[in-house]
Structure 1
Amino acid sequence: MLAKRYPYYLANQPVAANADLDVLDKYSGKRATRVAMADAATVRKAIVAAHKARGPMAAFPPDARRDVLEHCVRRFSERFEELALALCIEAGKPIKDARGEVTRLIDTFRIAAGEATRIDGELIELQVSERTRGYRGMVKRVPIGACAFITPFNFPLNLVAHKVAPAIAAGCPFVLKPAAKTPVGALIIAEVLAETDLPKGAFSVFPCSNEDANALVEDERIALLSFTGGLVGWDLKARAGRKKVTLELGGNAACIVDADPGASLDHVVERLVFGAYYQSGQSCISVQRIVAHEAVYEKLRRKLKAAVGRLRMGDPRDERTFIGPMIDEDAAKRVERWIDDARKAGAKRLAGGARDGNRLPAALLENVPRDADLYRKEAFGPVALLEPVADFDAAIARVNDSDFGLQAGVFTARLDHAMRAWDRLEVGGVVVGDVPSFRVDNMPYGGIKQSGLGREGVRSAIEDMTEPRLLVVRAG
């Protein structure tokens, strides 16, 4: 069970504000809890506090930052089932997947704890001519300053972790706005941070309206804005002024299955089903397009159709459930509409069924027109498209026929094809031997085109949250 009410956190302190936000159980539709909601004045106070905390956070020793992160690892481990249940309720994520996300939350903070004492600089040889003899150069990385973080609903623990943990490791104070539909996990993280000796003003965490959050985007005291969400991120970047901006804006990820996939088709199907339908497809790197060589297409088609039809949809608290609810009924209606539009344009549905509120059965389609919304845009739901190609180069071209470029998967036994995919696929990451939905929390993660700019992953995020500072010394 969730607590009856959660406070928000302003400058490290819990605040039980009068304005409440209802958080729904995404399966039952009933109110699960209430959280305190911040207003525009609170947002401004948080920015002021973070700006004042720049010096104390920069002076907070690296080993002390590590100790804070290790404290979080211990406390998240102790509260593991509480975090998993909160995620299951507020996001509708099947409980097995919820436990997996809590594990990744812990992993991300553990990785950041290790990196906190490894933010190294470099020596630069300046004696490149007679004029510069006797000069020495050194560079260290220093915290960029106050950061603003905005996170989405689909990974309300781990996507928060990928911003918060690197900020602490780097020595940056921050203000976090979690998604209004799923704020509980972020507030539990803040509760744990409040147990530490982070400097006053080091963190503020609260849900608020998009309008009240404008200062997080526009205030010049914020040095970096990190946003994960939809294409509205480009508008935020345009309004952000001189601050540094990193964006992760989703995709419509494709996976190639070569004539010789390098693994049994049963294994390929197992991974494709996971990648496409895990947490009802509500992942930026969910498998949306499956591009299969015509030599294996028919056999793959039969196996996929059967596997998708066996997926169990139901209560996310049930250990047997694979497909839980989508985040709300509007999201389910949108995916349903895109499927219907594609079928009217000639697509064939191989698996799927009728929507029930915000629950949509796993769908598999083929012959989807390449100008359909279901093909061109991010579905962000439990649906995948299957299409044949004549050769590997055609598969690469088909993957690249997208406005997005986050990650792509490639099943192939041929090393030259794997290297060709790495060279030519227009994405931020290529996963060979698995689906694009694979991610480890220490790897660089991000995309190109409409998928965003910059990279997440703990070390990559620390690099974004720090800047080089040069020292030149004339020695004689």
Structure 2
Amino acid sequence: MTTTHEFWLAGRRASGETAFEVRHPHDGSLVATVGVPTDAQVEEAVAAAAAAVPVFAATPAHQRAGALDHVAKRLAERTEEIAKLITAENGKPIKWARGEVGRAVSVFRWAAEEARRTNGETMRLDTDPGGTGRYAIVRRFPRGAVLGIAPFNFPLNLVAHKVAPAIAVGAPIILKPAPATPLSALVLGEILAETDLPAGSWSVLPVENAKMPALVQDKRLPVISFTGSDKVGYQIMDSVPRKHVTLELGGNAAAVVLADWNSEADLDWAASRIALFANYQGGQSCISVQRVIADASVYDRLVEKVVEKVRAQVTGDPYDEATDVGPLVDENAAKRVESWVEDAVAKGAKVLTGGGRDGAAYAPTVLAELPADAILATAEVFGPVLSLHRVEGTEEAFAAVNDSAFGLQAGVFTHDVQTAFRAHRELEVGGVVIGDAPSYRADQMPYGGVKDSGVGREGVRYAMDDFTFEKVLVLTGLDL
């Protein structure tokens, strides 16, 4: 008999009156049942978070940093257990799940370091006669309690990117994990409960999606950090125009291969990275390679290598150490990808490899001659599908990257430093990766996009800035 998992209400375990099932995407087997908070319990958590705002903000840095250090240590100790849990609920191959735990360890470690060294700044004001004898101290303070809404594709690490910065600045957080993947977040709750953080400073509530509008609208949660689809993200932002909302949304990331990246070794590297990062996490990453834009001078050779390396991606049981590509999060997701590929083919695209669905799994797929009116040409596929595009020269390549409603990250394969700086200047994205796929992310760097890819930035220090505001203290009558 499956035990129903409790959730975390203001730092303590709690049980709901109803529950929902979490199933393994690979075979549909039951992984767990998870309790759902009642309306009264959600109200209790929000009230506790609001009450904790002044208390948590006043905690000494060493207390917050110590708690974050503890979380990093315990996540590292429990890596294998948590990785298997991620694979169970999400379906990603176990080797990628282990990598996700390792990244979460780093996120909490960096947050601990940032909590210790966030000092503010000082400035003398006697640069003008009216400021004689005046000196300013600028510090950052929490905007208030945070509502963190996490997605399913990185059920631990993207939770970490909300929880760790909030703790680092002393902002209470109510975390809502994705309904498909709440288990990693609940284990994180177990570890947080081992710390001495103040009561009410954190909750993990697997709230039903239907109950989200009330939480979003609650004035006691003035900060919302959302990661997910652009449609839902902008609905949230539009519904609360006076709140501070950060959105990390989707993309259709491009990998650009320019004419100077033309040796066999160059093209092997580019093809390997493209094949890997179009399909890792089942393509369910906002910076997964979706478009390959190649100069005509290298296009034909690159296509051959990309198809070969995509075919070499091992699919199957995500618990198998050899598996590169597991299932999508559920069968409906795979059916959507299937329908989008069928739409592309009906409009003239050619399937060079892949193109088949088996339950929740979709075969790694490469398309050529994708027509501009295909859904895949403009939308985020969030599946293991990439398309190949031939261009003439750098200007046309960069124009193709920018011909998108999204702007998260781009990868540019070039040896030319001038071209690298041009890409940084001209590409309408939040990040440019030179000599590699767009799918690289270091968790301490500012991460986010422009256009329909969102507003604000993740990355520990940058999220800490989003969760806080500057407050100036002016000292008067000083002999400077």
Q: TM-score range by the shorter chain?
A: over 0.9
Q: Distance in 2 between matches of 1:191 and 1:132?
A: 52
Aligned-partner SS, 1:117: helix
Q: In the alignment, does 2:405 pair up with 1:403? A: yes
Instruction: Tell me the equivalent position of 1:68.
Output: 67
Report the counterpart of residue 449 of structure 1 in structure 2.
451
Q: Secondary structure at the match of 2:141?
A: strand
2:390 equivalent in structure 1: 388
Which residue number in structure 2 is paired with residue 433 of structure 1? 435
Cα distance in structure 2, aligned partners of 1:193 and 1:216: 22
Task: Find 2:290's aligned residue among 283, 288, 291.
Answer: 288
Judge conservation of contact 2:141–2:471 (CA < 8 Å) in 1.
yes
Equivalent-residue separation in structure 1 for 2:16 and 2:10 (angstroms): 14
Match of 2:322 in 1: 320
SS at match of 1:116: helix
Match of 1:247 in 2: 247
CA distance in 2, matches of 1:286, 1:71: 32
CA contact (8 A) 2:15 2:37 kept: no
Partner deviation per Cα, 1:318-368 (whole Å, 9 max, x = no partner):
011111010111111111111111111111110104211111100000100
1:423 matched to which residue of 2? 425
Aligned match of 1:375: 377
Q: Which residue is 2:152 aligned to? A: 153
Helix, strand or coil at the partner of 1:290: strand
The residue that corresponds to 1:167 in the other structure is 166
Pick which of 3-12 and 454-463 moved more. Answer: 3-12
Could you tell me which runs of 5 or more consecutive residues in structure 1 were left unpaired when the two chains were aligned.
none
What does residue 461 of structure 1 align with? 463
Residue 205 of structure 2 corresponds to which residue in structure 1?
206
Q: Where do 1:271-310 residues align within 5 Å?
A: 271-310=273-312
Do the aligned residues in 2 keep the contact of 1:39 with 1:209 (CA within 8 Å)?
A: no
Q: 2:22 & 2:427 partners in 1: Cα distance?
A: 40
**Pairing 1:52–2:54 present:** no
For 1:307 and 1:73, locate their aligned partners in 2 and report how far apart those are by CA, in whole Å: 36
Q: Deviations over 1:101-126 (max 9, x none)?
A: 01001011111111011112111221
Residue in structure 2 matched with residue 179 of structure 1 by the alignment: 178
TM score, norm. by length of structure 2: 0.97
Sort the Cα spacing of 1:411 and 1:3 in 2 relative to 1 into closer, same or farther, 3 A.
farther
Alignment check: 8 A CA contact 2:16 2:38 kept: no
In structure 2, distance between residues paired with 1:281 and 1:156: 15
Task: Give the Å deviation of 1:3.
Answer: 7.6
Question: Is this contact kept in 2: 1:173–1:203, CA < 8 A?
Answer: yes
d(CA) in 2 for partners of 1:165, 1:423? 32
- CA offsets 1:283-306 (integer angstroms, 9 cap, x no match): 000000000011110000011111
Please say which of residues 364-373 and 152-161 is displaced more in the overlay.
Answer: 364-373
Q: Is the 8 A contact 2:276 2:313 kept in 1?
A: no
Q: 1:105 to 1:387 in 2, by over 3 A?
A: same
Matched, 1:414 2:416: yes
Name the structure 1 match of 2:217.
218
C-alpha distance in 2 between matches for 1:127 and 1:141 = 23
CA distances 1:235-292 after superposition (whole Å, capped 9, x unpaired): 1011124220000111100010011227621111111111100011000000000000
Q: How far apart, in 2, do the equivalents of 1:136 and 1:279 lie?
A: 52
What residue number does 2:339 align with? 337
Please list the CA deviations of residues 406-460 of structure 1 after superposition, one character each: whole Å capped at 9, or x if unmatched. Answer: 0000000111111111000000010111111100010000001000000000000
Percentage of matched positions with identical amino acids: 49
| Cα pair 1:254 1:408 within 8 Å, conserved | yes
Equivalent position SS for 1:264: helix
The 1:3–1:264 alpha-carbon spacing in structure 2 relative to 1, beyond 3 Å, is: farther
Query: Hey, what's the Cα distance between the residues in 2 that align with 1:51 and 1:242?
Result: 18
* 3-state SS of 2:429 partner: coil
Structure 2 counterpart of 1:96 = 95
Deviations 1:142-179 (A, max 9, x none): 12211000011000000000010011111010100000
CA distance in 1: counterparts of 2:38 and 2:311, whole angstroms? 46
Which has the higher mean CA deviation after the structures are superposed, 368-377 or 447-456? Answer: 368-377
Superposed CA offset, 1:76-103 (max 9, x none): 1111111000001100010000000010
| Correspondence for 2:22 | 23
**Root mean square deviation, CA, Å:** 1.3
- Conserved? CA contact 1:43–1:215, under 8 Å: no
1:230 & 1:200 partners in 2: Cα distance?
32
What is the distance in 1 between the residues matched to 2:250 and 2:337? 16
- Contact 2:341-2:355 at 8 Å conserved across structures: no
**3-state DSSP of counterpart to 1:472:** strand
* 2:361 aligned counterpart, secondary structure: coil
Any idea what SS the aligned residue of 2:117 has? Answer: coil
| Residue range with higher mean Cα deviation, 240-249 or 169-178 | 240-249
Matched length: 475
- The SS at the match of 1:413 is coil
Partner secondary structure for residue 164 of structure 1: helix
Partner-residue secondary structure (3-state), 1:212: helix
1:311–1:323 CA contact under 8 A, matched in 2: yes
Greater shift in the superposed pair: 162-171 or 347-356: 347-356
Match of 1:40 in 2: 39
Report deviation, 1:41. 2.7
Q: Quick check: 1:39–1:212 contact (8 Å CA) kept in 2?
A: no
